[in-house]
């Protein structure tokens, strides 16, 4: 008993070092397991919409068009030979904004945007995103929602 007592003194034996290592190993294992579970829960592939898609031929959108493509949650704007695709996802909390004569309006919390997507009222913190437009080899217009562009960046047909 007395010998054990001697070894139990803190900082005075292999035992305290081993205890420390064991504790660190257990805590480390728990942390790694927790991290692995988080990684597991984060999907690598999603089943939702692709970020790059075709919206049709340029002729589908005559000059002066402001059409909301509801299923893609974007608005296609064409003025003369210039074309742009503006997101209709409200920057506030993700509702779909409606296209109105003066711009865009959100039904959820009353954010309002002008025709270029600048905030003119309501709680929205930033203007609507503009997405990169390009012409695919088959003549279709292609939108990439992973590539936002500066406001006012039109695609010249």
Partner 1 sequence: MSDLQVQDPPASAPKGGLVTALTAFPRNVWDSIFRHPLPDSDLGASQTSFSNFFLHIHPVKVHRNTLRPLYTMGLGVMSFAIFLLLTITGILLMFYYVPSTTQAYDRMLDLRGSVAFGTVLRNLHRWSAHAMVAVVFLHMCRVFLTGSYKRPREFNWVIGCVLLLLTLFASFTGYLLPWDQLAFWAITVGTSIAGYAPLVGKKIQFLLLGDQAVGQEALLRFYVLHVVVLPALITLLVAIHFWRIRKDGGLSRPAEADLQPDGKPLQVQIVQGNASGKQTFGLMGFVRGPFTKVGNTPDNSVYAWPNLLMAELFVFVVTVAALLLVSLFFNAPLEEPVNVLHPPNPAKAPWYFLGLQELVSYSAFWGGVGVPGIEVALLMLVPFIDRKVSGVGKWFAKERFLANTLFVTFALLNVIFIIIGTFFRGPNWAFVSPF
Q: Which residues bind partner 1 (CB under 8 A)?
A: 38, 41-43, 46-49, 70-71, 92-96, 105-110, 122-123, 125
As given in the structure block, the two tokens for residue 130 are: 């503009």
**CB of residue 24 vs partner 1: minimum separation in angstroms?**
26
**CB of residue 124 vs partner 1: minimum separation in angstroms?**
8
Q: Which of 94, 117, 122, 85 is nearest to 104 (CA)?
A: 117
Of 16 and 144, nearer to partner 1 (C-beta) is 144
- Dihedral of the CA atoms 24, 30, 36, 41 (nearest 10)? -150
CA gyration radius, the chain: 28
Residue 49 region, left (φ>0) first, then alpha (ψ -120 to 50), else beta? beta
**CB of residue 130 vs partner 1: minimum separation in angstroms?**
18
Of 49 and 54, nearer to partner 1 (C-beta) is 49
Of 58 and 123, nearer to partner 1 (C-beta) is 123
């Amino acid at each position: 008993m007395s010998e054990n007592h001697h070894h139990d003194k803190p900082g005075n034996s292999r035992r305290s070092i081993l205890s420390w290592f064991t504790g660190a190993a257990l805590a480390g294992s728990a942390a790694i397991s927790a991290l692995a579970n988080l990684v597991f829960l984060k999907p690598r592939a999603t089943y939702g919409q692709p970020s790059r898609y075709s919206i049709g031929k340029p002729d589908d959108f005559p000059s002066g068009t402001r059409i909301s493509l509801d299923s893609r949650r974007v608005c296609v704007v064409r003025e003369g030979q210039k074309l742009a695709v503006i997101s209709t996802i409200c920057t506030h909390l993700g509702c779909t904004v409606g296209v109105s004569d003066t711009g865009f309006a959100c039904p959820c919390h009353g954010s309002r945007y002008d025709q270029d997507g600048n905030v003119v009222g309501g709680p929205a913190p930033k203007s609507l995103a503009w997405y990169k437009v390009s012409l695919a080899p088959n003549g279709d217009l292609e939108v990439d929602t992973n590539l936002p562009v500066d406001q006012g960046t039109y695609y010249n047909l």
